[in-house]
A and B are shown apart, each in its own frame.
Chain A
Amino acid sequence: MLRPMSKIHIPTPLRQYVDKQSTVEVKCSTVGEAMSALVAKHPDLRRHLYTEEGKLRAFVNLYVNDEDIRYLQKEATAVKEGDNISIVPSIAGGAENALSPCHPERSEGSWFLLVVPD
């Protein structure tokens, strides 16, 4: 079966795991397939997007074009040729050290990463 080609937009914090690319093109018919293809190509990305049980992490939002897949068919959402898939992480930067106790080295902007392998 010929699968359509989609573009996945990678947010800055995750680009280090995809050879610094801002977008990755994958062949897929659903969002789930796209993500599987992405982590197959870039295995270091897996632990940042999926739990150990293989579920997409709750704080990772996925969009097809401008629609949140939670309001479509979730990971079964179909993608067409040329669709844009976006990974939209929560980011919290704004006013360094401003308002709550933080890790002393956690400077402006935070992104949460696993540092110990699975």
Chain B
Amino acid sequence: MFLAALGMTVISDSQRPDIRFADPTILEISTEDFMAAITEIPVTLSKDEILRYSRHLIMPEVGMEGQRKLKAARVLCIGTGGLGSPLALYLAAAGVGTLGLVDFDVVDYTNLQRQIIHSTADVGRKKLDSAADKLTAINPFLNLQKFDLRLSSENALELFRDFDIIADGTDNFPTRYLVNDACVLTGKPNVYGSIFRFEGQASVFATKDGPCYRCLYPEPPPPGLVPSCAEGGVLGILPGLVGVMQATEVIKLILGAGEPLIGRLLLIDALGMKFRELKLRKNPDCPVCGTHPTVTKLIDYNEFCGIRGEEKPVGAGLPEIQVEELKRRLDAKEDLFVLDVREPHEYQICNIGGHLIPLNDLPNRIHELDSSREIVVHCKMGGRSAKAVAFLQQSGFAKVHNLAGGITAWSERVDPNVPKY
């Protein structure tokens, strides 16, 4: 043990005790339980590691003991996008021993504005490979585990079992509920961060005595309410801010230091640079973490969130027109009215001269349209315009078509001078 403290031995995986299920009869393990377990792990630091982490080691709040806890810890990051980028980078730099990454996506050019773990040369590569390069370059001592898969009800529980803390950097409601429920069912803390435009939220859910995501939001936005494409977008630095907060919470949980965001929801307003805090309570009637849970295994989260399968896209069954056909008919000076239902700021990026009425304004501005004329509706990719076509049909317009693929298809197949965004 003395030698170990000097960092003279390295422990192998087979020697490492299982800190999650020290007592296999305990299904729910609190942060305190596993932090206590981490304390007892005879993980040691090499001379190189001692030098690398010296700024941690000279702080009494971390010290050798804390740094060994970090090395013993196993953290699973769901997603290596906006939130996952800073999160994984800082956890790797800080010396978290085992980092799991779950992602199946490929780096896209539009990711680079905020997903700082990926660089321009990585466009087209798997995010997992791109992230792995950066993380191991920062810290070669890192045990990195890549999971090239879509998190699902079938694989989440098994995946989570091998980790101590789950950091949720996902982008949609079904996966949020899936991560939450799987965390509750496996007894793993869920370090939560979420962003929208200029706003962020952060909390720590699913600890033994703390609330879970469902205590805060028992239900997702119900079916019948549709996602507004125009409402997307995010300030590039915001996921950085929130992802670093998640990293901070992960490290505090491992160290057992400070006051974690358990039972508190931090609201971040980047425009006002204001931080507010709301109290969260564990709901005794919570369907998953309450006293009489009704959700005792993972469910179909797309169904729960009212999202129908991809087999029935929004535009199914609506009259469509292809971009080549529109081009031909416009060139032939046919009487066609082109309606653009995107937002004004999108119109400024590029347009094909259509009459602009944003989708959400359409009900109030329908009088601007002449139902006797033939109307072609477009948006960016065809989703919003499909809703507009359906709405116009319900309102008595007989000659409306949806431009398949939107202005993006126009850019790809008709006029490459129209920028894609």
CB contacts under 8 Å to A, within B103-139, are 103-105, 108, 110-111, 115
* Contact between A113 and B231, CB atoms less than 8 A apart: yes
In the complex with contacts A68-B279, A112-B227, A93-B174 CB distance below 8 A: no
Q: Are B278 and A66 in contact (CB under 8 A)?
A: yes
Which chain B residues lie closer than 8 Å to A103 at the CB level?
227, 229, 314, 383
Q: Which residues of A contact B173 (CB under 8 A)?
A: 90, 92, 110
- Chain A residues 96 to 118 lying within 8 A of chain B, measured CB to CB, are 96-117
Chain A residues within an 8 Å CB radius of B363: 115-117
The answer on a CB contact under 8 Å between B233 and A109 is yes
Q: Which of these binds chain A: B48-56, B197-205, B249-257?
A: B197-205
A-side contacts of B103, CB under 8 Å: 95, 98-99
B82 within 8 A of A: yes
Q: Taking the complex as formed, is A6 at the interface, i.e. its CB lies under 8 A from any CB of chain B?
A: no
Given known A-B contacts A59-B222, A117-B363, A105 and B83 have beta carbons under 8 A apart:
no
Report the minimum CB–CB distance from A108 to chain B (whole Å): 5
Residue from the list B150, B193, B267 in contact with A94, Cβ < 8 A: B193
Indicate whether B60 reaches chain A with its CB closer than 8 angstroms: no
14 A–B contacts from the bound complex (CB under 8 Å): A57-B222, A66-B276, A94-B81, A94-B168, A97-B105, A98-B78, A98-B169, A99-B102, A99-B150, A100-B151, A104-B381, A104-B382, A110-B232, A115-B362
Contacts of B221 in A (CB 8 A): 57, 59, 90, 112
Which B residues lie within 8 Å of A105 (CB)?
229, 232, 379-384
Are B220 and A90 closer than 8 Å at their CB atoms? yes
Q: From B201, which residue of chain A is reached at the shortest CB distance?
A: A91
Contacts of B150 on A, CB cut-off 8 Å?
99-100
Complex Cα gap A114–B279 (Å): 29
Instruction: Contact check, A96 vs B171: say whether CB atoms are below 8 A apart.
Output: yes
Interface residue SS majority, chain A: loop
With both chains docked as a complex, state the minimum distance between the C-beta of B316 and any C-beta of chain A, in angstroms: 13
Q: Is the CB of A96 within 8 A of B81?
A: yes
Q: By the criterion CB–CB under 8 Å, are A95 and B80 in contact?
A: yes
**Is A30 interfacial (CB-CB < 8 Å)?**
no
A68-B278, A97-B105, A103-B229 given as contacts; is B81 within 8 A of A109 (CB)?
Answer: no
Give the Cβ gap from A110 to chain B, nearest Cβ, in Å: 5
**A93 adjacent to B196 (CB under 8 Å):** yes
CB distance B225 to A114 under 8 Å?
yes
Does A61 count as interface, using CB distance less than 8 angstroms? yes
Please provide the 4 A-B residue pairs with the shortest distance between their CB atoms, ordered closest to farther: A95-B81, A107-B232, A95-B79, A112-B221
A95's contact among B84, B216, B227, B379, by CB below 8 Å, is which?
Answer: B84
Asked if A12 contacts B81 (CB within 8 A), the reply is: no
Q: A90 to B217, Cβ gap below 8 A?
A: yes
- Looking at the complex, which one of B197, B219, B272, B302 makes contact with A59 (CB distance below 8 Å)? B219
Q: Give B225's nearest chain A residue, CB to CB.
A: A112
CA distance A22 to B197 in the complex (A): 14
Q: Does B226 sit within 8 A of A, measured CB to CB?
A: yes
| B105:A113 contact, CB within 8 angstroms | no
Contact A59 B278 (CB under 8 A): no
Which one of A59, A63, A91, A105 has the greatest number of beta carbons of chain B within 10 Å?
Answer: A105
Q: Is B234 an interface residue (CB 8 A)?
A: yes
Greatest chain B CB density within 10 A among A12, A103, A116 is at A103
> For window 27-78 of chain A, which residues contact chain B by CB distance below 8 Å?
57-59, 61, 63, 66-68, 71
